[in-house]
Amino acid sequence: MKIVTSGSRYIDIDAYAGCISYSYLLNLKGIQSKAVSTAKLNESITKKLLELDIKLNKYKPTEDDEFIIIDVSDKNFFDNIVKENKITEVIDHHTGFEDYWKQRLGNNSKIEFIGSVVTIIFELYEKENLQDKITKDIAYLMMSAILDNTLNFKAKVTNNRDIIAYQKLEKIIEDSENYASKYFLQCQEIIERDLKKALENDTKIGIVSKKLPNVFSQLAVWNKNNILDKKKLIFDTLNNFGNNWILNLICLEEGKSYIIASNDLVLQDIKNLLNGNINQYYLECEDVWLRKEIIKQSETN
């Protein structure tokens, strides 16, 4: 059995949709597969998406299981169910471990710096000439993942391949008009309902770059105001993870990132990296930055 899974601490809509859609593709090809995760689901996976008929599968481990990893390639962050010696494929859009997996898996390592890992998976449907088998539910999941990971195509990481994949998926569903704004407003509603949980569910812990704090949180919302008004809750929550941290608060309505930092020294370091204006306790950037883009920027400067 092929077990398609992702990260250990939490998964976002890109990982969630990626696991489900790739498992679905494998089953279409006659390869027995399950999409599985033991991690928390973050706020990018809305109630409407969870209500779709297609979901993650229940899982009971067997000795014959092989693992396919989606949306992560650093083995320190794999789901706890993964047995490293039984990994047969890795599909990711975060760079840094390409050489390791290419040497180990050859063509079964597909790691490309692109907006959404789901875009790569959609292209695999096309490669197998199975794009016509994509159901409406799969299309909703994949479209949401591309929107979220490209920030409605405003993020620098957005590739023309992401746009093309999204446009083709739009043709599968019936109510694609204004889908982006509907999706992001649903995400914000979940975030505002429990901001503490939202922060905890989308915080990466560990050394992502020598120039950045080890605690890196991110939230994408339509409007920033209700979040910035909750300074004490933000600081209390993220201080539980460590003394040095940053929060990338993405405001899609304005097309800007607001970087909140644990202290003035960290904030100044981020300003030197990204530019922008410091206003009270946060840095207002001139445009949108994704966490993975900030990490890549720190590695090249």
pLDDT in tens, 247-267: 999 999 898 999 999 999 999
What domain count does the chain have? Answer: 2
Residue, of 42 and 122, whose pLDDT is higher: 122
pLDDT above 90 covers a percentage of the chain that reads 81
pLDDT band at 222 (very low <50, low <70, confident <90, very high): confident
Per-residue pLDDT of 195-213, as tens digits, reads: 999 999 889 888 777 889 9
Q: Looking at the structure, do residues 73 and 137 belong to the same domain, yes or no?
A: yes
Dihedral sign for Cα 26, 27, 29, 31, please: positive
**Helical (H) or strand (E) element with 41:** strand 40-41
**Letter string b/e over residues 145-178, b meaning 16 or more CB atoms within 10 A of that residue's CB:** bbbbbbbbeebebbbebbeebbebbeebeeebee
Return d(Cα 72, Cα 77) in angstroms, integer.
Answer: 7
186 burial (CB, 10 Å; 0-12 / 13-18 / 19+) is middle
Does residue 179 form part of some domain? Answer: yes
Per-residue pLDDT of 63-99, as tens digits, reads: 999 999 999 999 999 999 999 999 999 999 998 899 9
Does residue 288 form part of some domain? Answer: yes
pLDDT score for 21? 98
Does residue 19 form part of some domain? Answer: yes
Does residue 189 form part of some domain? Answer: no
Residue, of 292 and 221, whose pLDDT is higher: 221
196 burial (CB, 10 Å; 0-12 / 13-18 / 19+) is middle
Q: Looking at the structure, do residues 230 and 148 belong to the same domain, yes or no?
A: no
Q: Looking at the structure, do residues 216 and 147 belong to the same domain, yes or no?
A: no
Return d(Cα 37, Cα 6) in angstroms, integer.
Answer: 7
Q: Looking at the structure, do residues 203 and 237 belong to the same domain, yes or no?
A: yes
The domain that contains 292 carries what CATH number? 3.10.310.20
The domain that contains 58 carries what CATH number? 3.90.1640.10
Per-residue pLDDT of 9-19, as tens digits, reads: 889 999 999 99
Task: Tell me how far CA of residue 240 lies from CA of 42, 64, 96, in angstroms.
Answer: 19, 40, 28
**AA identity, residue 110:** K
pLDDT score for 202? 86
- Cβ 297 vs Cβ 285: under 8 Å: no
- Cβ 9 vs Cβ 40: under 8 Å: yes
Q: Looking at the structure, do residues 23 and 138 belong to the same domain, yes or no?
A: yes
Domain enclosing residue 159, as ranges: 2-184
- Cβ 12 vs Cβ 70: under 8 Å: no
Q: What is the rounded average pLDDT of the residues 107-121?
A: 96
pLDDT score for 103? 96
Q: What is the rounded average pLDDT of the residues 136-142?
A: 97
Nearest to 221 by CA among 192, 242, 262: 192
Q: Looking at the structure, do residues 48 and 169 belong to the same domain, yes or no?
A: yes
Q: What is the rounded average pLDDT of the residues 226-246?
A: 95
